Each structure stands twice: as C-alpha cells, then as structure tokens.
C-alpha cells in the first residue's frame, strides 16, 4: 500500500518538475525545493493535488513539515490513519 501511495505521489510531483530536473531524480530523500527545484507556487499545487488524490486535508503545519518526498509520504500516511480512525 505504501508503494502505491509513493507512486501516486511521484506522479503528482512529476507534473511540477522544472525542465532541468528528471523524473528519475525523485527519490524518498529528495528535497522539494533544493533537490527538485520546485518553486513555492508549484509546491502549493502539489499540496492541493495530494489533497484531491488522497482525499485528505493538509494544514499549514503539515505543509511546513513537507520538505522531502519522505516527509510528504509520512504526512499522507498520518492523515489517512487519522481519517480512518477519525
């Protein structure tokens, strides 16, 4: 299940990669801004797409903590658990 979520997240991120960054550069430890060169406007779009794709709501604190792909996946997993145990 985690691998499936990672693949969905990776697909979302790919849509916002600048031309000088390859999809192969997306790794769990990849930093959105410093590693993948994603600007803040596109980061907001990624957050919105993640909310839609996973049917979750992310708060400002969640977004602040979303520095790497692994961070994003951890937050998604946490939100999905909260949603099911609600």
- 69 close to 27: Cβ distance less than 8 angstroms: yes
pLDDT (tens digit per residue) in 25-67: 999 999 999 999 999 999 999 999 999 999 999 999 999 999 9
Average pLDDT over residues 3-18: 97
Global confidence as pTM: 0.92
Which domains can be identified in the chain, with CATH numbers?
A: 2-15+32-85 (1.10.1200)
Say what the pLDDT of residue 44 is: 95
Q: What is the separation, in whole angstroms, between the first and last Cα of the chain? A: 20
């Amino acid at each position: 299940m985690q691998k499936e979520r990672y693949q969905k997240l990776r697909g979302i991120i790919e849509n916002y990669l600048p031309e000088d960054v390859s999809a192969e550069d997306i790794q769990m430890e990849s930093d959105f801004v410093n590693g993948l060169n994603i600007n803040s406007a596109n980061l907001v779009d990624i957050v919105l797409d993640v909310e839609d794709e996973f049917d979750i709501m992310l708060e400002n604190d969640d977004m602040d903590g979303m520095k790497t792909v692994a961070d994003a996946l951890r937050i998604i997993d946490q939100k999905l658990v909260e949603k099911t145990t609600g």
